[in-house]
Amino acid sequence: MIKKILLGLLFLIVSLVIGFVILVFARFNRTFEAPYPEIKASTDSAMIARGRYLALGPAHCANCHSPLTDFLKVERGEETPLSGGFNFELPIGTVYAPNITPDEETGIGKLSDQELARALRYGVRHDGKALIDFMPFYDLSDHDLTAIISFLRSQAPVKNLRPQNEWNFLGKAVLAFLIEPMGDAVVPPSPPIDSTAEYGKYLAASVANCRGCHTNRDMMTGAYIGVDYAGSAKFELFDENLKLVKGKHLVTPNLTPDPETGRMNGWSKKDFIDRFRRGRVIPGSPMPWGPFSRMSDLELTALYKYLTSLEPVKNEVPLGIQEGDPQ
Q: What is the pLDDT of residues 80-115, one digit of tens each?
A: 999 998 888 888 899 999 999 999 999 999 999 999
Do the beta carbons of residue 112 and residue 326 sit within 8 Å? Answer: no
Under a CB-based contact definition with an 8 Å cutoff, are residues 208 and 293 in contact? no
Write the DSSP assignment of 266-293 as a string of letters.
T--HHHHHHHHHH---STT--S-HHHHT
Higher pLDDT, 309 or 18: 309
Mean pLDDT, range 65-83, rounded to an integer: 90
Residue range 270-281: average pLDDT? 93
Q: Is-contact 158 107, C-beta < 8 A?
A: yes
Across the range 60-86, mean pLDDT stands at 90
Q: Over pLDDT 70: what percentage of the chain?
A: 96
Q: What is the mean pLDDT of residues 111-139?
A: 92
CA 16 vs CA 19, 84, 174, 177, 300: distances in Å: 5, 41, 18, 16, 54
Per-residue confidence (pLDDT) for residue 185, from 0 to 100: 64
Q: What is the pTM of this model?
A: 0.90
Q: What is the dihedral of CA 277, 278, 280, 282, to 10 degrees?
A: -140
The predicted model gives 179-198 an average pLDDT of 82
For position 189, what pLDDT does the model report?
Answer: 74
- Structural domain boundaries of the chain? 31-190, 192-327
Q: Which residue has the higher pLDDT, 219 or 286?
A: 286
The whole-number pLDDT of residue 66 equals: 93
The sign one gets for the Cα dihedral 195, 51, 53, 243 is positive
Can you give the pLDDT at residue 220?
A: 65
Calculate mean pLDDT across residues 131-158.
93
Q: At what angle do helices 113-122 and 142-154 cross, to 10 degrees?
A: 130
Which of the two residues, 182 and 80, has the higher pLDDT score? 80
Q: Is the pLDDT of residue 75 over 90?
A: no
Give, for 234, the enclosing helix (H) or strand (E): strand 234-238
Which ranges of 178-296 would DSSP assign to H, the alpha helix? 197-202, 210-213, 269-278, 289-292
